[in-house]
Amino acid sequence: MSTNAATTRLPIAAALKDATLAALVAFGLFALMVGLYTDQGPTGALVVSTRLEQLTIVVGLVFAGAFARALIFGREPVGFGRLQPAWLTGRAANVFRIVSPLFGSALLAFALLWPVVFYDNRYLLDLGILVLTYVMLGWGLNIVVGLAGLLDLGYVAFYAVGAYSYALLAQNFGLSFWICLPLAGILAAFWGVLLGFPVLRLRGDYLAIVTLAFGEIIRLVLLNWQDLTGGPNGISSIPRPSFFGLPFNDDEGGFAHTFGIEFSPIHRIVFLFYLILALALITNWVTLRMRRLPVGRAWEAMREDEIACRSLGINTTNTKLTAFAMGAMFGGFAGAFFATRQGFISPESFVFGESALILAIVVLGGMGSQLGVAVAALVMLGGFEVFREFEQYRMLVFGGAMVAIMIWRPRGLVGTREPSLYLKPEGK
């Protein structure tokens, strides 16, 4: 490795030239985003100010990084494959196969103990609920993208269908959460099948464009059908879930009085945490079971090569429809939970950015990897909160991190997937 690295190194003059070019490109990119910002002046008008110090630091870091890269690696791509021997790569896969169940069990234990450890911290409890919601959404989209190989940019549409289905059914018909939850999932699965029919013959970019359009159509319908959805005003006063008929209030028939404990509004938050945890675990369990069924193996076969899949006699029409329906159903469940947790929904909660975030969780975690999706959701949502104080730079930092992961870990944070089936030798 040292011999190859030595032959690709650039002279200092060439390295300075490449670093200067990279610095000029960085200056062109960040001059407006970092170097300038608007603020409210004394008269109330917007005033443009400069941040030359921050811009200089960013450009200087780019120059230093490009100069060091040119001296060490030259102009060749930098990848993990060059930095570690082949025997270590194979051993890492074996270690991951052993550690993966232990790490998954540790994450589950950590999630179960989260409300106990942070019972008095409402902020961290809400953050845990948010992370688990996106874990469930990521696992639902993982069926469509990771297992079936169908690029879906409109997954937020099923999230919205589930939320609005729950809100309308609960308000207009007085149904409880436990009845509205499966109905919301069924309605979302129905819309998933409707989306599946027009895209049966589409692949790649064309499929992505159609699913993106479908998500925008749903959002615009919710925005303009004011008689049903409330339009931009949304739907408020959505009924809260109860503990099997016991409301979380201070009345005689409430949860606290029934169990003889002191009333606290945190009880409802803890219940919501364990509720979304249970829904996420059900999503994970169903997905793992579906992978071992013939339909799950058909999803993975279609992901690898649709033409070969069709030549083997697999009905790709039914395979695509089942993938869209299953993924949409879990998105509908998550939407129903979102509606009952928030108590208010509007079309602004279901924009394209939500679909992009869920897809980023699936891709960064590792398409087809359940553990990877959970880790990516924890890192991304938790990371956003860690960098909340640096609001002006956190999107820049996370964008750079995503680019770095796509370069050095193209299969995601957890790129190793367990096979659906193991073929045993004859006679064993």
Question: Does residue 2 register a pLDDT over 50?
Answer: no
Split at pLDDT 50, 70, 90, the class of 168 is very high
216-257 per-position pLDDT tens digit: 999 999 999 888 888 888 888 888 888 877 878 777 777 777
Question: Does residue 159 register a pLDDT over 90?
Answer: yes
The arithmetic mean of pLDDT across residues 196-204, rounded, is: 76
Q: How far apart are CA 169 and CA 64, in angstroms?
A: 59
**pTM (2 decimals)?**
0.79
Q: Which domains does the chain carry?
A: 2-78 (no CATH), 118-241+267-408 (1.10.3470)
Is-contact 180 163, C-beta < 8 A? no
364-410 per-position pLDDT tens digit: 888 878 888 888 888 888 877 777 766 666 667 777 777 777 777 77
Is-contact 335 235, C-beta < 8 A? no
342-355 per-position pLDDT tens digit: 889 999 888 888 88
Percent of the chain with pLDDT over 70: 86
Written as one string, the DSSP assignment of 79-136 is -HHHHS-HHHHHHHHHHHHHHHHHHHHHHHHHHHHHHHHTTT-HHHHHHHHHHHHHHH
Question: Does residue 203 register a pLDDT over 70?
Answer: yes
CA distances from 413 to 28, 249, 356, 375 (A): 31, 43, 18, 8
**Amino acid residing at 18:** D
Is-contact 180 170, C-beta < 8 A? yes
Split at pLDDT 50, 70, 90, the class of 332 is very high
Give me the phi and psi of 157, to 5 degrees please. -65, -40
Record the tokens describing residue 18, joined without a space.
């490449």
**Closest by alpha carbon to 151, among 199, 114, 191?**
199
The predicted pLDDT at position 35 comes to 82
The predicted pLDDT at position 408 comes to 73
91-138 per-position pLDDT tens digit: 555 555 666 667 778 888 888 998 888 888 888 899 999 999 999 999
CA distances from 200 to 195, 210, 275 (A): 9, 11, 35
Written as one string, the DSSP assignment of 4-15 is HHHHHPPPHHHH
Q: Over the chain, what is the mean pLDDT?
A: 82
Name the 3-class secondary structure at 344.
Answer: coil
| Other beta carbons within 10 Å of 383 | 14
**Amino acid residing at 367:** M
Give me the phi and psi of 146, to 5 degrees please. -75, -40
Per the model's pLDDT, the better-predicted residue between 20 and 397 turns out to be 20
The 8-class DSSP code of residue 245 comes to T
